[in-house]
Amino acid sequence: MSEANSLINCPGVSVETQSHGLDKVVIDNDLGRCELYLHGAHITSFTPKGETDLLWLSPKAVFCADKAIRGGIPICWPWFGAHPSDSSKPAHGFARVTQWQLDSAVALENGATQVCLKLSESEQSLSLWPHRFELVYQIVVGKQLDIALTVTNTDESAFDIGGALHSYFNIHDVEQVSIKGLDGICYRDKVEGFAQNQQNGDIKFTQEVDRVYIDTEDTCYLQDPGFDRTIEISKSGSDSTIVWNPWQDKSQSMADMSDDGYQTMVCIEAGSTGGVNIAPGQQHCLAQSIKCRC
Ligand code: BG6
């Protein structure tokens, strides 16, 4: 059992320290089940009752304090991708490799469970990003998963943030799935040196895909005939959607992914890549909802 367990008193919510040393929170109710780690506030599993997990977790994921878990929903914050001016700083920011605090867990009247985690500045975060902030991550586990990351600027001057809720989805076969919802949207293609292009029809996968779809708040539908389901992914407070599949060569080059790992995952991320300026005392909320149409 973890120390965090004594802080919560909510039916269906427990915290246990795993053999690798990280604290795992399990939320289980009549509607769904979710697992997450205080390390990175990283959700690793979400299963609506009677379904197969909607999220993908690499069988080779590494669980340790200085590494991000491969799969689930990493929180990229306060920047997305490489740091804009200093590549020695961690890719995708520090939130996904920092221990968060479990703040509250409540059973809601509709049968869902709401859990909140918090993170604020520390000596280490200030050495990477010199601003004072408070982050609240609200997770509601029901038939669908609703996640909302709210930052408050608790500093005396404005700052810019970027980031993403970097969701990895569990699919039957990458060559059979398609993503609907981004037709006509412009994207920057990271595989082609950030060249700008426009989506024509649904997205299908036959090679590496690493794209930032810009100026879109649209809902995406991940159509998966192999699992006989469509996952609906909606969002708010997000100016971009990132779609990523590393394909074979990159999977082979990643130590925390099996060689064929790319075949059963695809990332559809709620991004905030244009940068958001937040004045002292102001807030911004980046949110994503994940729902199965089975
Ligand atoms: C995606 C990026 O969001 O994350 C990719 O667009 C990147 O370029 C991928 O490779 C995984 O990043 P990381 O840091 O978790 O290996």
**Which tens digits make up the pLDDT trace of 192-248?**
999 999 999 999 999 999 999 999 999 999 999 999 999 999 999 999 999 999 999
Residue 242 in contact with ligand 1 by CB distance below 6 A:
yes
Q: Which residues are catalytic?
A: 166, 269
Question: Best of 66, 67, 92 to mutate for ligand 1, by most ligand atoms within 8 A of CB?
Answer: 92
Confidence of residue 7 (pLDDT cuts 50, 70, 90): low
Question: Best of 213, 238, 244 to mutate for ligand 1, by most ligand atoms within 8 A of CB?
Answer: 244
Mean pLDDT value of segment 51-65 = 98
Question: Residue 93 pLDDT > 80, yes or no?
Answer: yes
Q: How far apart are CA 112 and CA 108, in angstroms?
A: 5
Number of Cβ within a 10 Å radius of residue 98: 22
Confidence of residue 8 (pLDDT cuts 50, 70, 90): confident
Q: Where are the beta strands (DSSP E) in 4-97?
A: 13-17, 23-28, 32-37, 42-48, 75-76
Mean pLDDT value of segment 11-36 = 97
Cα angle for residues 80, 82, 84 (degrees, 5° grid): 90
**For the CA of 92, the nearest atom of ligand 1:** 14
Mean pLDDT value of segment 159-176 = 98
The fraction of the chain above a pLDDT of 90, given in percent, is 96
Q: From residue 283, give the alpha-carbon distance in Å to each of 8, 140, 155, 164, 171.
A: 27, 20, 12, 16, 35
